Structure formats: structure tokens, C-alpha cells
Structure 1
């Protein structure tokens, strides 16, 4: 994801990176070519074969705008739920770290650091699972060797890390570092983390119905392809301008909805999971107040454009 500062309204007109315009240019080029063909046919063919007029497009356009509104709302709901789930992960992980650091009878700091590092590793494991990427390079320096050996071969790595966190808490209870109430409070936060993992997996495994997306996609492109032939009678030489404006609006909305439907992906409008993981680990480092506990590397920035690249 690209996280930008607020831009002036005029600069917003020329933003390139992070917009869907680059991927729409070939399609808009096709609409422009069809508009030029419609003008040529209208002006140079004695028996103009297609005289659609604007009323049919007005009716279809209104219906299409309503369907696109529902499509975008459904996709944005998924993006927003993913954002809330990862926000809950950060909040719950901080609470879990605070509980571990403030145990009535704390164990040695090295053991507690292993617990905090595993919490950060949980966030990275979930990020890689949702994106289908290799987690080895991020998990190896964060997890204890015995835990990393267990997790490396697992399909659902976050669940295994949660199991280890629960085992760590149970071991502290047996040693007398935690009483029953403290263990219940920590277990509630572990359950909350498990709910976050399950919620993210649900979003990833249950996309919007494919037939619904295909229907809207086909209708948009059929509408945009025929639009120049309906505008040419009234717009004349301005047909390419109006056809491109309408096509850009409809195609861009459909492209944005397709991007944010999977909020955990790697496209420029998906959630900034790298930045969220770095934020969590920075908070864990500050809470530990231990120079031996390594902070997360900073999130990359583009110095020339002053935005965060995830």
C-alpha cells in the first residue's frame, strides 16, 4: 500500500502512482479509437448503421451506477473489516505484552523477550499466510529455534505460534509466576488473537461471488464500447471526450473494487501490512525497554515523493 500525505486539490489531478489509471490506459485507448470510428462512420457513411441515441444509455447508466455502488460498498466493507481486524491484532498484542512484562513474579528477561519476539513473529506469519508468501526470512530471527523448527513445516503458522504462546503462559502458571486470574486474562487476549487470525482467513477464503463480479464487469465494458455510437449524434467531435470521461469513471470504480476486495494483497491500494507489523514491533521494543530486544526496521519511504511504500 502507498500511504500519502494530504495533497493539494490541483496535485490530485496528476497523481499517477497509487491510482488505477495506468492499468486502464489500454482500455481507454480502445474507447478513444471506437469514438473516432463512430465520428468517421457518422460523417462519411451515407447510411449510418448505428443510431442508438442517448436515452438507452441514460437508463442503462443509472442502473449500472446503482450496481457499481453495491459492488464498491461490498468491497469496501471487506477492506474496512480487514483494517479493523489488524487494528485489533495490534491492540491485543500490546495488551498481551504488557501482561507478560508486568507479571507478579517475572521470569528472566531473556525468556520474556522470546515471548515478545514471538508476538511480533505472529503478525509476520499472518501477513505471509494471507499473501501466500514465504515467511522464513521474517520468522527465523524472531522465533526461538525450537519454535521455528515446529512452525517451518506447518501450513497454518499463526495457529502454531498461538499454541506456543499458550504453552508459555501455562508454563509460567505452573512455576507460580501467574495466578489463576492473571492466566485467565492472558488467555482472553490469546483468544482475541485467535479470532483475528480466523477473521482474516475468512476474508481471504470467501471472496465475493464470482458470477456477480463477472456480470458487472461484462455490463460495464459492453456499455462503454457502445457508448460512443450513442453520443456521436449529439456530441459530434466531442464524442471522444465524453466517452472517455464516462468510461474512466465506470472502469475505475470497477478496478478499485476489484483491488480492495482482497484487502491483504500486494496491490497499491491494499492494506499496509508491512507498516502495521513494523508499528507493532516498535511498540514491543519500547515496552520492553531492553537494548537487547531489537526494534523492527523502519518502513521504506520514497524520499522524492514523501510517501510510505509498503
Structure 2
């Protein structure tokens, strides 16, 4: 029996990550209003509206909800693509730095390892920056003490980390450990990382226009409160259940847009940035465990035997 045989049913009743806790109180309120309208209609104190009278408002509200949800998902998906580029560029930078930068002195290996870990520090600093969190112990293990103290004082830690990586590459070029073509290629990857950072900041600092969000909520509230008058004639005292279900559906769609429009937070529906950064760190540590091939001084050819990694 497959382990996920009942996955669909478990997902249907799962509370974590769903909009049920936020939407259900509002839907119950609309259902209770419908019950009151049903009692009033029974005693002749309320009127019944034709069902087709709300046809045009239904279409308009549906289009607004679709636009709202699509706009929010577009922001979510763009954020995911930007973090995918950050992941790929980090891997490419780490691989090229590890293989291309020539080691002339014993401490060069340690400097390369420290720079590779700075790539992870850039991703972690970007995550903290987008979440509005200050520099914490996540960066302490992948930076030196001086770097960590410096980042705690900076207004924009990711840019400082990007500067350190660029500065390291420039130093290696001046020491003739990199040629100009390699330096240009590596600096282009760093520029791409900074561009992705800017793209994430654009998503974060450009929310859905307030007037649009307020107007949509107002229309939803008016529609859900007018719905009892349209269904009370056909459903009587069952109108409360019908209104609750319809309200839950519409309010849930709107809440989904609210949940995913800012994809960089800590909510279950946000991007798994902690996991992405942890995967980057594992990738870098795995790369460090693989030593670049050694050049043969006599023949100036690459040796077929990999260098042993120092413990």
C-alpha cells in the first residue's frame, strides 16, 4: 500500500497552511446574518431579491478575485524564480572559484574556503534582510568574527557580503591567480546575485495597491451580506448553511491572495527560504570536500590524481 494513499484526504482536512482559521469566522458571521434574515423573512419583516439580480455583480466580483489571485501568484512565482537564480549562481560561483583560483601560498586554500562560505552568507543575509530580521547566529558559523561584527552594524548586510566576494576576486586577479576573462565571468555572476536581491526587494516593497485591496474587501462584504436576501425564498432556514459555504469559498480565494503576495516571510505558504539556504550550505560544504586537481610543475599539465583534502 503506497504511503501517500490518503494524502489527498489528509490535505483536505489539514489546518496548517490553509486559510480556514482566518476565513471561517468571517464566513460564520455571514451565515449568522443569513439566519437572522431567514427569521425576519418568515415573519414577513424582510424581502426576497431575485437571484438573477446579482448576475452582473457576480461576474464583476469573480473577475476581481481572479485578477487578485493571479497578481499575488505572479509575485510568489517571480520570487521563487529569483531564488532559483541565486541558488544556481551560487553553485556556479563556488565551482569556478574553487577550480579557477590558483593557490600560491598555504593560506590561499583557507581564503578560498572562507569565500565559498561567504556565498552562503549572502543567501542567508538576503533572507534575513527580506524578512526584516537582524543579523543573527545563522551567519556566525559561516563568517569570521570580524565579518560577523561588521554585518551587525551594516544597514544592508547582503551588499556588504557581495562586496567582500568581489574584493577577494579582485585581489586574486592582482596576484595573477585569475586571468581577466575568469574575473569578468565571476564578477558577472556576482552582479546577477545583486540583481536578484534587487528583484526580491522590488516584490517586497511594491505591495498590492491599498485602494484595490480595500475595494475588493468592500465588494466581498456587500455581496456576502446581500446573498441571504437572494436565497432566503428558495432555501428558507437552510439559507445560513448556503451563505456560509458560498462566503467561505469567496473569502478563501481572497485570503489566498493575501497569503502568497509576500512570499519571503515565515508563514507556511511562503517560500521555504530556510530550506533553500540550508541546501546551499550543504552544496558548498560538499564542494569543499572535493579538492581541485593539481598542476604538474614539470609538464604544466593537470595531474590525473586529485589532491588530498586536508582535515
Q: Give me the TM-score of the superposition, normalised by structure 2.
A: 0.87
- Larger deviation, residues 87-96 vs 222-231: 222-231
Change (3 A) 1:6 1:140: farther
In the alignment, what sits opposite 2:230? Answer: 230
Deviation for aligned residue 1:7: 5.9
1:95 paired to 2:57: no
Q: Distance in 1 between matches of 2:144 and 2:290?
A: 18
1:20 paired to 2:14: no
Q: Matches of residues 1-310 of structure 1 in structure 2 within 5 Å?
A: 8-43=7-42, 45-46=43-44, 48-103=45-100, 105-106=102-103, 108-289=108-289
Q: Distance in 1 between matches of 2:214 and 2:67?
A: 14
- Larger deviation, residues 251-260 vs 105-114: 105-114
C-alpha contact (below 8 Å) 1:92/1:189 kept by paired residues? yes
3-state DSSP of counterpart to 1:72: helix
Q: Distance in 1 between matches of 2:60 and 2:125?
A: 43
Q: Give me the TM-score of the superposition, normalised by structure 1.
A: 0.87
Deviation for aligned residue 1:277: 0.5
Q: Distance in 1 between matches of 2:190 and 2:89?
A: 8
C-alpha contact (below 8 Å) 1:122/1:162 kept by paired residues? yes
Q: Distance in 2 between matches of 1:192 and 1:13?
A: 40
Q: Distance in 1 between matches of 2:152 and 2:12?
A: 47
- Alignment RMSD: 2.0
Number of aligned pairs? 287
Q: Distance in 2 between matches of 1:251 and 1:80?
A: 22
Q: Residue deviations 1:169-224, cap 9 Å, x none?
A: 01111111101111011011011101111111111111111111111111111111
Deviation for aligned residue 1:151: 1.8
Q: Residue deviations 1:3-53, cap 9 Å, x none?
A: xx896433333122110001112112201211211221111x23x333223
3-state DSSP of counterpart to 2:81: helix
3-state DSSP of counterpart to 2:100: coil
Change (3 A) 1:49 1:239: closer
Q: Distance in 1 between matches of 2:101 and 2:246?
A: 65
Q: Can you give the 5+ residue segments of structure 2 that lack an aligned partner in the other structure?
A: 292-308
Q: Distance in 2 between matches of 1:281 and 1:263?
A: 21
Q: Distance in 2 between matches of 1:227 and 1:273?
A: 41
Change (3 A) 1:13 1:150: closer
C-alpha contact (below 8 Å) 2:24/2:248 kept by paired residues? no
Q: Distance in 1 between matches of 2:239 and 2:189?
A: 60
C-alpha contact (below 8 Å) 1:93/1:119 kept by paired residues? yes
C-alpha contact (below 8 Å) 2:37/2:46 kept by paired residues? no
Which structure's CA Rg is the greater one?
2
